[in-house]
Amino acid sequence: MDIVATLGTQKTTIHFASVEVVEALLPRHAVLVTDENVAAAWPAFAGTRKTIVVSPGEGSKRIPTYERVLESLAEAGADRSTPVVAWGGGVVGDLAGFAAGTYMRGVPLIQVPTSLLAMVDSSVGGKVGVDLAAGKNLAGAFVAPQDVYVATGFLATLPERELRAGMAEVIKYGFIMDAPLLDTLGGDLEPLVARCIALKVQVVDEDPYETLGRRAILNFGHTVAHAIEHATGYGPVLHGEAVAIGMVAEARLARDLGLAPADLVDEVERTLVRHALPTRIPEGVTPEQLLEAMRRDKKAKAGRLGFSLVSEPGKCTLVPNVPEEAVLRALSNS
């Protein structure tokens, strides 16, 4: 069962298939971009086409690696009709997607996500880019993949910690727009992944370029998460783990602002703990440090801090102008 997503005028077909079928369906002349872990875990897949391999981790989502991918595409003889396959997790998807969107002013992009996080979030919706010293995803673009191939078989080799981190984004969908999903978290992964993708497609369709406020609900937990990742130097805390901590802090913020009942904080925290996800700001990181990082974040518009806040499980709205004192209080309470 395919899902067709639209990003403005661009269409993406999302296919669900086995690893073997995905390999057979990818164009022969495509260039794969992946990381060392994925290439080592799936050597037969990597051996089928020209492959550009980067180091694993957020550290590769930077301009020097982006430049290296572009130069490697040129060395591989890629032309305007050569599809780039972003085969990996969120870092590879964002990096290779940005390279595909800019190499020769844009070549076809195919996303083949291998992490839970990339399957349910980053491979769909067209956001690609790299981090700058000033903050996460500060250089980027919207580049809709032509196809996304989702093979949950890839999750078999994903480290347990990464699988857990991906669950944070799954849990996020429950709290922002689909409370019944929270009762199915222990079930089969494949229908859960398909459900999350359908939810994301619906949001992206309504607000493709995040200009109307609707797409911003996907950022629940992310304003704090990006600040944590920045303050800890991108790496020690995985993105999904930071999102888990961020969702608790932002639930507390919603409560303090009178937008959500007190028990929302407990419910968010309990759900995350059940999936062995962290809920506390890491030792040594201060609320002031996080606030400073948020001020620089691209979501701070005209000096104002915006948050996507959940008012009850399944309902989320963008709150554009949150006072800094309230943010500091919510961050101090953890």
CA dihedral for 175, 91, 12, 307, sign (positive or negative): positive
Q: Which helix (H) or strand (E) holds 56?
A: none
Selected range binding ligand GLY among 102-110, 121-129, 241-249, 266-274, rule: CB under 6 A: 121-129
Between 73 and 170, CB nearer to ligand GLY? 170
Between 218 and 249, CB nearer to ligand GLY? 218
How many residues interact with ligand GLY (rule CB under 6 A)? 5
- To the query of whether residue 137 is one of the catalytic residues in this protein, the response is no
Q: Residue 121 interacts with ligand GLY (CB under 6 A)?
A: yes
Q: What are phi and psi of 138, to 5 degrees?
A: -80, -15
Selected range binding ligand GLY among 120-128, 131-139, 257-265, 314-322, rule: CB under 6 A: 120-128
Q: Residue 127 interacts with ligand GLY (CB under 6 A)?
A: yes
Report whether 92 contacts 33 (CB < 8 A).
yes
Position among 101, 125, 140, 287 found at the interface with ligand GLY (CB under 6 A)? 125
Report whether 181 contacts 195 (CB < 8 A).
yes
Between 52 and 244, CB nearer to ligand GLY? 244
Between 72 and 122, CB nearer to ligand GLY? 122
Report whether 193 contacts 120 (CB < 8 A).
yes
Query: CB 215 → ligand GLY: shortest distance, Å?
Result: 5
The full DSSP string for 2-21 is: -EEEEETTEEEEEEE--HHH
Count the neighbouring beta carbons within 10 Å of the beta carbon of residue 113. Answer: 30
Residue number of the CB atom closest to ligand GLY: 218
Q: Which residues, 189 to 248, sit near ligand GLY by CB under 6 A?
A: 215, 218
d(CA 249, CA 265): 8
